[in-house]
Structure 1
Amino acid sequence: MADPAELIAQLRPLRAPPPDGAAEILVMALVGCIAGAMLTLAFLFWRARRRPLRRAALSALVAARALPAAERLAAQAKLLRDLVGALDGGVARLHGEPWLARLDALFATTLFSAGEGRAFGDALYRPHADDPTERLDRALRALLARVDR
């Protein structure tokens, strides 16, 4: 038999097994998660800043809810004038039936020429027997939700 010292000298040194890549995979997953979170935050920020006209109109509509009926109707009419002025410019100068027809065309509805929205035409300057503001508020909220600016 060979000398044990000679046998020990013939042994090769111990080596660690090759890395399995778990650390690299973990780092890449972490980088991916951070990139995904950044993209999500960027999208949410972009979406929140989008459609400022709609947000302003809806907040004006909410602010008008605290007013008495006659003032609320006037605030809603001013909201529509401001919105149409921002969307269409000079069209906000229309009055009466042409104004109601333009509102119907702009919002793709018949609310203003044939429904409760007639209150924003010449009827705006006449006393009302009933209070249409609550119904108009709901209808305007639904219409403003469709504004894409």
Structure 2
Amino acid sequence: MEATSRPPLPPFTLESARQKVQAAEDGWNTRDPVRVSLAYTPDTEWRNRADFLTGREKVVEFLTRKWARELDYRLKKELWAFADNRIAVRFEYEWHDDSGAWFRSHGNENWEFAENGLMHRRFASINDQPITAEDRKFLWAR
């Protein structure tokens, strides 16, 4: 059954914004595209790097491709700022490609939420940095 709301709801406080960021981190670290997509409105709007998406189905397709390419993905998010129904985060994640080359991706996201706590807009800017396996910071088990 699909949730019709996803607390905490806007307007955000410092504590509820931190909860929202942690919930997003936890969800993305599952690497389950369908589960992750349920945190977004059915008509969600995304910009992820140079990809522009609209709707949960497109999000599931995008995330399926992403995690087929970005193996052993591990993500950390940090609250940057918040106001009313918006949250800004900075993040880092590590992953490797199918040749075993490791990367740390750095970025910022701007989020806008509907009244029911589902994310309506997500705009992400991301840069990739090649790293060695020895330089990895995010080493927890899946």
Normalized against structure 1, the TM-score is what? 0.26
Larger radius of gyration: 1
Normalized against structure 2, the TM-score is what? 0.27
